[in-house]
Structure 1
Amino acid sequence: MENKNSFNNKLIILITLVASLGGLLFGYDTAVISGAVGAMNSFFINPLDNDNVLASGAIIEFKSIISIVSIGVLVLFGYFLFKFFKKVTSIAIIVIFLLIAIPLFKMYFLDLPDVLTENLRNSILGFMTSSALVGCILGASFGDFIANSVGRRNGLVIAAILFLISALGSGYPEAFNVFGIQTLSSFIIYRIIGGMGVGVASMLAPLYIAEMAPANIRGKMVSFNQLAIVTGMLVVYFVNYFIVQGQSDDWITESGWRYMFLSEVIPAFLFFVLLLFMPKTPRFEVMKGNEEKAKTILDKLNVKSSSDRILSEIKNSFKTKKAHWLFYGWPVIIVGLLLSVFQQFVGINVVLYYAPEIFKGMGVDTNASMLQTIIVGAINMIFTVIAIMTVDNFGRKKLLLIGSVVMGISMIGLGFSLFSGAVGFTSLLLMLVYIAAFAVSWGPVTWVLLSEIFPNSIKGVMAVAVAVQWLANLVISWTFPIMNNNPFLVDTFNHGFSYWVYGAFAVISAIFVWKFVPETKGRSLEDMEQLWLKKEQE
């Protein structure tokens, strides 16, 4: 392990803070919707109830957007399959998938009624709320291409531009409606554009930091990205609160939600400007054959004469840079993908995106629900700081195990609280315990592991893992209002059903971590190659 004094810690911290603004915008962009869900329902969805022509057009455009998104995801799915398998195997898997998916897609989307039913209403609201996640999938999927073509830093610059466009278009979708479609659809498209920025940043920010930071503090530095994410969420919770404080519901419905989205312009512009002064990573420069530039950057990062050795290690790690994604076997692929899936299937973003609406469902007014959401954000941030202080000492695997167990107990308990109708302080406490458990474990640790477990020669798999993470996020966020507002489930389980589902996934995630996830604490990025090669040979 390298001596911490052999590094220019001030420069590394500065680079980490700037790159982490990508994480802050990640949190800001995804959480800003939480304060606007009720207003958007009133502004975009309620008018459809009284205007059949408007509703019919919205349904047609909704079907069209879903169809285009589905085709795009299918193309990406096929592309990644061809990266994994031989041509014949990939075609066979795609054919089987289509035979299953097309009837389901036709049933749930193309055969939607031409009138606005309650389930269709909930589906449109759920998709509008979670539409940014579609962009996240696309952005993350192209993250590897962007990282390897224009670089990690320049990729983050692209993300900053996308954030700016989305903030303006989401705030005034009718003024920036260059698509010739309904305002609802224009809003969805601009949210997708912002999601693309989130998807790019979600992959490149931790990757950029991981490639700049030394092994002995890398976990802590990468965790700053997660701290920035939850900080962005907390900041936007405050922003949303101050925007709506003392305002009437009519004003919030007409104008308040616009200011929520427009407020993102400030951090996005700051991120864009600061990135222009940041260096590219040494690994990217070596990848492009610019060893002198890489050496210059390493000399700035290292205050002692260790840059030659680090440069040599980086060069050696790229000897198999064109390795097949299965070069190290299936274990690393499966572990990476399931880490991403479980991070979302435990239900965290349901709480973060729908917190004000959840609290309103417990009987509190708009201002109180916003204040309780701020408490959620504060707990999230405090325990993320604890994770940063412990991830390099306590270990990644132990934190994940503890988090899974506590989340499982909390979510199952919250489900029973709602089922029994005993909502109040107990429900709030269970939710806060759940948030704390996630923040100290799966929140930051998943990103640390994704930046560590994939050897350089197959680093592109990280793009798949992040894309899968956003796909899982989309599934959870879209289906929550459908489950939570379904008349049968409400009558039978009184809103407790969905929380039991998330609690069950938390329990399953604990078993997965215990059996399959390796400890990466203290290992260099190059050490991970030997670990997976050893597993492949066993």
Structure 2
Amino acid sequence: MRNQRNALYIFSLTLVAAIGGLLFGYDTAVISGAEKSIQAYLIEPLGLGSFAHGATVSSALIGCIIGGLISGIFASKFGRKRSLIVAAALFFVSALGSSYPEFLFYTQGEPSLALLFTFNFYRIIGGIGVGLASAITPMYIGEIAPADIRGKMVSFNQFMIIFGMLVVYFVNWGIANGQTVEWINEIGWRYMFASEAIPALVFGLLLIFVPETPRYLAMQNKEDKALSVLAKINGASEAKVILKDIKESVQASASANKEKLFAYGKLVIVVGILLSVFQQFVGINVALYYAPRIFESMGAAKDASMLQTIVMGLVNVVFTVVAIFTVDKWGRKPLLITGSIGMALGMFGVAGLAFANIIGMSTLVFIIIYTASFMMSWGPICWVLISEIFPNKIRGQAVAIAVAAQWAANYFISSTYPMMMEFSGGMTYGFYGLMSILSAIFVWKWVPETKGKTLEQMEDIWKQKSELNEKAS
């Protein structure tokens, strides 16, 4: 049985790994305070339009796709821990490079295509770090945490993602507060990007002191080390039983050549990909990346728009905490379906107001309904499911594919937002509302409930589904 010491050890490992989530949120949201300055400093002087603006704001997502794709290779070849250390190093390099892209192409302060390219290069480097962390952090926590609290622990990573966003909203506001627009466009945005170097350095240093996951150690035939970690997590007696289950799972997979991606059927891979795609097609990152601009379009001044973004960030944190304390009680599916309905209500509300040309507090209310619904459901639960549903032997490959699909969908939605808004704001938000409805139907029909099941039990479920499908065909 676990005691208080075991629980403290689990939480300490989760906390360190979840700093990767904090950096994920920090890196993706830092652009919200800097995107108008980037537009003024790098885009407009070169005569570039909304496409270049959207592509630059979303450039980090190209790196996220790359990071997601290679995360399976890194997780399998180098382990979960060392892959996270690589991510920390990439965050650090990106923070410094994005803040001073002139380091490679010194142009005496004059905007140029070379300078714009270099800025995007450093943002892509950071994006690779985000892609790695977004896949491997929940994988690490999911393989460390016992089944009865796994949902809560993986959801804590989402809390850290949102907390990282909230922190950078405060940092951006603190840097911009009381300063002229000219100073922010020339200097302030650099401080915003450079600030990320501090948590990146802390993350890299703390990772030195955490162990590799017991499941990865068992797959590498390091059973003594795996048993040692499991004993610290679950207690000595239970550790032996868990290690036995892990070994049987790994040996059965190896003997049946289960390392093939579709060895458990195509359904599990399709479900993982669609979970990722729907999480982005509901439009959440539009609200996060462009939040100050959205609030400015509602008539708020520069400082007020950043303060309203902070309010939204606080709402996000509160409702992520709701998810943390309900995911292991209510289950994954009820939370996802409830969240989808709330998101649809919020987005259709914003769309209706946009069609009616009504701008004001009512828009803010619907945006908060939308983001709160996402944060108590699809925000954390999608990552929980991605860390849970895939069998041990294909988890690295399958998570990589799901995460890469997620970032590809994110890039598509984020980069097309400025152009879609130029066409029709009402239709843009209506599209996100429609995707929310479709996401609820998808969860209801195809997503299995994972509450309280071990990772090995989930493997058995997919094995049985695959066998039934083979017999049916």
TM-score surpassing 0.5? yes
SS of corresponding position for 2:43:
helix
State how far apart, in whole Å, the 2-side matches of 1:326 and 1:531 are: 14
CA contact (8 A) 1:7 1:302 kept: no
Q: Which amino acid aligns with 1:513?
A: V
CA contact (8 A) 1:4 1:216 kept: no
Please point out which of 409, 419, 430 is paired with 1:482.
419
Residue aligning to 1:144: 72
State how far apart, in whole Å, the 1-side matches of 2:104 and 2:337 are: 47
State how far apart, in whole Å, the 1-side matches of 2:290 and 2:84 are: 28
CA contact (8 A) 1:131 1:192 kept: yes
Aligned pair 1:216/2:148, yes or no?
yes
Aligned pair 1:263/2:195, yes or no?
yes
State how far apart, in whole Å, the 2-side matches of 1:279 and 1:386 are: 29
State how far apart, in whole Å, the 2-side matches of 1:303 and 1:313 are: 16
Normalising by structure 2, report the TM-score: 0.95
Aligned pair 1:133/2:65, yes or no?
no
Matches of residues 374-453 of structure 1 in structure 2 within 5 Å? 374-453=310-389
Residue aligning to 1:455: 391
Residue aligning to 1:194: 126
Please point out which of 71, 87, 101 is paired with 1:159.
87
Structure 2 residues without counterparts, runs of 5 or longer: 469-473
Residue aligning to 1:498: 428
Structure 1 residues without counterparts, runs of 5 or longer: 50-115
Q: Which amino acid aligns with 1:142?
A: I
Q: Which amino acid aligns with 1:530?
A: D
Q: Which amino acid aligns with 1:12?
A: I
State how far apart, in whole Å, the 2-side matches of 1:465 and 1:221 are: 20
Residue aligning to 1:289: 221
State how far apart, in whole Å, the 1-side matches of 2:5 and 2:278 are: 35
Residue aligning to 1:24: 22
CA contact (8 A) 2:69 2:401 kept: yes
State how far apart, in whole Å, the 1-side matches of 2:106 and 2:361 are: 47
State how far apart, in whole Å, the 2-side matches of 1:528 and 1:246 are: 54
Farther-moved stretch of structure 1 (184-193 vs 303-312)? 303-312
Q: Which amino acid aligns with 2:228?
A: T
State how far apart, in whole Å, the 1-side matches of 2:5 and 2:174 are: 42
Corresponding residue pairs, total: 459
Q: Residue 4 of structure 1: CA displacement? A: 4.7
Q: Which amino acid aligns with 2:241?
A: R
RMSD of Structure 2 on Structure 1 (CA) = 1.5
Please point out which of 157, 163, 169 is paired with 1:231.
163
Q: Residue 303 of structure 1: CA displacement? A: 2.8
State how far apart, in whole Å, the 2-side matches of 1:449 and 1:6 are: 27
CA contact (8 A) 1:7 1:304 kept: no
CA contact (8 A) 1:408 1:507 kept: yes
Please point out which of 167, 191, 207 is paired with 2:139.
207
State how far apart, in whole Å, the 2-side matches of 1:301 and 1:483 are: 49
CA contact (8 A) 1:282 1:297 kept: yes
CA contact (8 A) 2:2 2:234 kept: no
TM-aligned CA distance change 1:123 to 1:181, over 3 Å = closer
Post-superposition CA distance 1:301-326 (Å, at most 9, x none)? 23341111111111111121442211
Residue aligning to 1:13: 11
Residue aligning to 1:55: none
CA contact (8 A) 1:216 1:522 kept: yes
Matches of residues 81-100 of structure 1 in structure 2 within 5 Å? none
CA contact (8 A) 1:6 1:302 kept: no
Aligned pair 1:343/2:275, yes or no?
no
Runs of 4+ in 1 over 3 A off after TM superposition: 3-7, 176-181
TM-aligned CA distance change 1:365 to 1:30, over 3 Å = same
Post-superposition CA distance 1:225-245 (Å, at most 9, x none)? 100000000000000000000
Q: Percent identity at matched positions?
A: 52
Farther-moved stretch of structure 1 (339-348 vs 141-150)? 141-150
CA contact (8 A) 2:68 2:401 kept: yes
State how far apart, in whole Å, the 1-side matches of 2:440 and 2:57 are: 29
CA contact (8 A) 2:335 2:376 kept: yes
Q: Which amino acid aligns with 1:500?
A: G
State how far apart, in whole Å, the 2-side matches of 1:181 and 1:408 are: 40
State how far apart, in whole Å, the 1-side matches of 2:168 and 2:335 are: 27
Post-superposition CA distance 1:346-392 (Å, at most 9, x none)? 00000000000111111111100000000111111110000000000
State how far apart, in whole Å, the 1-side matches of 2:147 and 2:332 are: 14
TM-aligned CA distance change 1:122 to 1:350, over 3 Å = same
SS of corresponding position for 2:305:
helix
Post-superposition CA distance 1:156-175 (Å, at most 9, x none)? 00000000000000000012
State how far apart, in whole Å, the 2-side matches of 1:441 and 1:181 are: 41
